[in-house]
Amino acid sequence: MEILAFSDLHGNRELIDLFVNSVIAKRLNPDIFVCAGDIGDSIIVELLKKMLQFRKPIFYVLGNHELLLDNDPKEEKKAERLANVFHLKDKPQFFEDFALVGQDAWTDFADDRKIDKLRYEDLLHKFRRISTDESRKDAILVTHHAPSGVFDKGISYPDHSWEDKDGMHGGSYSIRKIVEEFKPAIHIFAHCHSDGGKWRLFGDTMFANVCHLERETRDGRIGINGSFMIIDTDKRICIPHHLSNLTKKVCTCGAVHYLNYNRCFNCYENGRGIIDFSEIKKQ
């Protein structure tokens, strides 16, 4: 199965046609679309309606942008009523051999202890629901927030998770704990723009930070370096795409991408990218 995963339009209406036209120009034909949040309520219905032309299911969660910065419950309700569109906030959804489990952002960045506990219990309940059905062996977790220590760096996360030599980490401890316990086949997330476009198979789980469509060039232009991912569940690989690039490239590490750079995002930094859970618990 192929998943086209994306996030973070931040209410930018100009990106709707740029994104849809990029999918058409690249002749991509995913089995499903997955959005990891921060569309923006002001454009969510318009975006989803245009994406329905591909006649594929769309699964999504909401980010902090919808819940705190661009909040319009009426638009959210309209989006939930669209056919073949599935908001993952309440219960798992099933497609082929996969169970999609999702959770909205709830908070702007990292959680206090109370929210952290509630976030864990919400995901625990959802994973327990799918674990009772033995025919559903593989789970795909979709959250807006990153799991702690996994592609969760940001330029500035005051009052957030923790800091090490690689910078500030804004991931959720409770989300990482759930991943460690239930080992979903894939975890799709966003929010931490600095680590966007990075992916790795770590243990039993493929982690994919799919940020972000509103990525700007150095001179402030959008629609060129905005990124999304194709996730191939059979080959267990991810292929990052820039909106503008139609040319296949192979990084020195062997990873395939459609970026405007010779190297993939993972190879631009020397940091580990993923920190072992036992190290996080020591923080």
**What pLDDT score was predicted for residue 282?**
62
DSSP secondary structure string for all residues of 201-213: EETTEEEEE---T
Confidence of residue 71 (pLDDT cuts 50, 70, 90): confident
Overall average pLDDT of the 82-88 stretch: 97
Whether 95 has a pLDDT exceeding 60, the answer reads yes
Determine whether 132 is exposed, middle or buried from the number of CB atoms within 10 Å of its CB (0-12, 13-18, 19+).
exposed
Confidence of residue 62 (pLDDT cuts 50, 70, 90): very high
Q: How many CA atoms lie within 13 A of 161 on its CB side?
A: 30
Confidence of residue 158 (pLDDT cuts 50, 70, 90): very low
The 3-state DSSP class for residue 254 equals coil
DSSP annotation of 267: G
**What pLDDT score was predicted for residue 268?**
81
Least confident of 58-72, 122-136, 198-212: 122-136
**What pLDDT score was predicted for residue 168?**
76
Domains in the chain, start-ordered, CATH in brackets?
A: 2-280 (3.60.21.10)
The 3-state DSSP class for residue 261 equals coil
Overall average pLDDT of the 125-139 stretch: 77
pTM of the model: 0.95
Q: Is the Cβ–Cβ distance between 7 and 235 less than 8 Å?
A: no
For 251, left (φ over 0), alpha (ψ -120 to 50), or beta?
Answer: beta
Overall average pLDDT of the 201-208 stretch: 95
**What pLDDT score was predicted for residue 72?**
83
